[in-house]
């Protein structure tokens, strides 16, 4: 007995007694089954493994697969068929009549795609554009595509723009992978209002049951200091100040970017680097009043004098 699932990543056994057991993937048989009762949940999985090791160019050409690897960032996961250029298998040009027929085939192939497929294609094109602007790893984009697909399956697209949902999915992916990107960075790259992005992010977290951990403040210290070309000594002192603040328990519930900017501001003063709070504010996206308040609290708690 097998059960059909729309997404292999969300496979779970429906029995109450099996909720604590993980699902097991058998790559040799191409099946996913429950670790508790042994029920086959998915069968006939695609074989994504590599056949053999190659030790020379001849073995590599014999064992190489055709086409790129599958990816969630492609609307068809990279499994579509594309009508090639106007040449036959020998490399010769096609006749005018055959060219016309193939052009018509390309046109109808494009028009025959479903609305959902066309929507995913536009969404992932936008996702790759935002990825280029903010400079994140492919794993983050892959996770963002997975979150967006789950949002589409949960019918969260109604009443919300594609750009805001894609941006919210990417921000959630950055939080999961501890990539220091703020809401303002994502909103600017995706050309979305911060208010709308924050609203859609809360909806995705609630409806999909995501568990996003708080950012590691040290990652923002590295980001801000690198962008402002601060010295390595200032960066190390900021780390020490942040560690002491965590020991004094004054970082709980505070904005991690503001905490990082305030720590760097105090460290720059101690090392004789005269940088105004306004510059830290412009670089971090936090108001200078917030940085000033955080810096005053750190100085008072750690008894640091200018």
- The torsion angles phi and psi of 32, rounded to 5 degrees, stand at -120, 125
Alpha carbon 146 to its chain centroid, in Å, reads 9
The per-residue pLDDT for 4 is 46
The per-residue pLDDT for 47 is 60
Give tens-digit pLDDT for 127-150. 999 998 988 888 899 999 999 999
DSSP secondary structure letters along 29-53: TTEEEETTT--EEEES----S----
Residue found under tokens 């005018």 = 96
Give tens-digit pLDDT for 41-88. 877 776 655 555 556 666 655 665 555 667 788 777 766 667 777 777
The per-residue pLDDT for 2 is 45
The per-residue pLDDT for 1 is 44
The per-residue pLDDT for 10 is 66
Of 199-208, 212-221, 263-272, the one with minimum mean pLDDT is: 212-221
CATH architecture of 217-302: Orthogonal Bundle (1.10)
Task: Compute the distance between CA of residue 288 and CA of residue 277 in angstroms, rounded to an integer.
Answer: 6
The per-residue pLDDT for 51 is 52
Q: Is the separation of the CB atoms in 75 and 113 below 8 Å?
A: no
- The torsion angles phi and psi of 9, rounded to 5 degrees, stand at -75, -15
Where residue 192 falls among pLDDT bands split at 50, 70, 90?
very high
Q: Find the radius of gyration of the CA atoms of the chain.
A: 26
The per-residue pLDDT for 186 is 92
- The torsion angles phi and psi of 28, rounded to 5 degrees, stand at -65, -40
* Structural domain spans, the chain: 8-43, 115-208, 217-302
Where residue 6 falls among pLDDT bands split at 50, 70, 90?
very low
* CATH code of domain 115-208: 1.10.472.10
Of all residues in the chain, the percent with pLDDT exceeding 90 is 22
- In angstroms, the first-to-last Cα distance of the chain is 73
Task: Compute the distance between CA of residue 178 and CA of residue 181 in angstroms, rounded to an integer.
Answer: 9
């Amino acid at each position: 007995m097998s059960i059909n699932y729309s997404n292999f990543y969300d496979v779970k056994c429906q029995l109450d007694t099996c909720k604590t057991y993980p699902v097991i993937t058998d790559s040799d048989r191409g099946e996913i089954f429950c670790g508790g009762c042994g029920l086959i949940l998915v069968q006939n999985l695609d074989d994504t493994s590599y056949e053999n090791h190659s030790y020379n160019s001849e073995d590599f050409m014999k064992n190489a697969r055709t086409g790129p690897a599958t990816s969630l960032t492609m609307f068809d996961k990279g499994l579509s068929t594309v009508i090639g250029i106007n040449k036959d298998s020998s490399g010769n040009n096609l006749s005018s009549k055959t060219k016309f027929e193939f052009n018509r085939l390309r046109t109808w192939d494009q028009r025959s795609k479903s609305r959902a497929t066309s929507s995913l294609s536009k969404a992932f094109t936008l996702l790759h554009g935002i990825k280029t602007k903010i400079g994140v790893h492919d794993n983050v984009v892959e996770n963002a595509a997975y979150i967006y697909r789950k949002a589409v399956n949960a019918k969260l697209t109604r009443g919300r723009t594609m750009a805001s949902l894609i941006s919210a999915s990417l921000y959630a992916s950055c939080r999961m992978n501890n990539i220091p990107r703020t809401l303002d960075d994502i909103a600017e790259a995706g050309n979305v209002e911060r208010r709308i992005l924050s609203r859609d992010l809360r909806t995705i977290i609630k409806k999909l049951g995501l568990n996003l951990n708080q950012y590691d403040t040290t990652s923002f210290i590295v980001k801000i200091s690198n962008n402002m070309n601060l010295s390595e000594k200032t960066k190390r002192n900021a780390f020490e100040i942040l560690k002491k603040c965590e020991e004094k328990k004054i970082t709980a519930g505070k904005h991690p970017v503001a905490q990082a900017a305030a720590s760097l501001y105090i460290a720059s003063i101690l090392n004789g680097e005269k940088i105004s709070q306004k510059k830290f504010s412009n670089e971090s996206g936090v108001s200078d009043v917030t940085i000033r308040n955080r810096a005053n609290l750190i100085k008072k708690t750690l008894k640091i004098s200018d």
